[in-house]
Amino acid sequence: MRQKVVGVLGGMGPESTADLLAKIVRSTPVTREQDHLRVIVDSNPKVPNRTDALLSGETAPVIRALTETARNLERAGAELIGMPCNTAHAFLAEVRKSVGVPVLDMIDEAAGRARQVFGAGAVIGLLATDGTHRAGIYHEALGRHGLVPVAPVAREVQRGVMDALGAVKLSGVLEESGRALAVAIGDLSEQGATALVAGCTEVSLVLEKYPPDLPWVDPLQVLAEALVREAGGHP
């Protein structure tokens, strides 16, 4: 079966885009180099801040940048698109309408994986940006899959999460970011969370380096596997 060309609408942030590419390679079963998928990447860090847009309501510049980047990928030959940014999925419907090729839903894929691994009714702690929480995209998806989402309650805890994620975008994964997320995970555990979803791609990077006490789902890994699946990368 002919493999589809994968497009990655990335750059939000650049390091998580690079991590997705590595995960796609590692998730593709091959017996020779030519078995790997062809992947076209537009790493576009010029997309305006998604959280700022969702909190302010000024979403038009973000939608314009995302849809233009998606169309760039389609023109370049992408037949399937993945978007390694959780918050940007608040604009998934607009991105999908802008192109004639499928755009995968990383949020729904991750929620489905959490249901598969942890079972119906599990309380899932969500580490995500303010914008993702405001949009409710994970709360909706986890609820749709029969899971119970919880988010940090204390404002200072969520502010620590946001500061940690911003630091990763600028300086990579540092110990300070690990400590900040550990505080948030403690807050989620006190609310009854027995597992986590890394609801921001920078959270994925931090938890890979500083593993939490709770089991967790990595949407970047789930997206990589879904792209391989949908592109025909499995034998």
H helical segments located in the chain: 14-27, 50-56, 60-76, 92-98, 106-118, 130-135, 137-144, 155-171, 175-190, 201-209, 219-231
Q: How far apart are CA 16 and CA 80, in angstroms?
A: 19
Indicate which residues carry an active-site annotation: 85, 200
CB 219 within 8 A of CB 86: yes
CB 107 within 8 A of CB 226: no
Give residue for tokens 């389609």.
Answer: 74
Taking Cα atoms as reference points, which of 107, 99, 117 lies closest to residue 140?
Answer: 107
**Rg for the chain, CA atoms, rounded:** 17
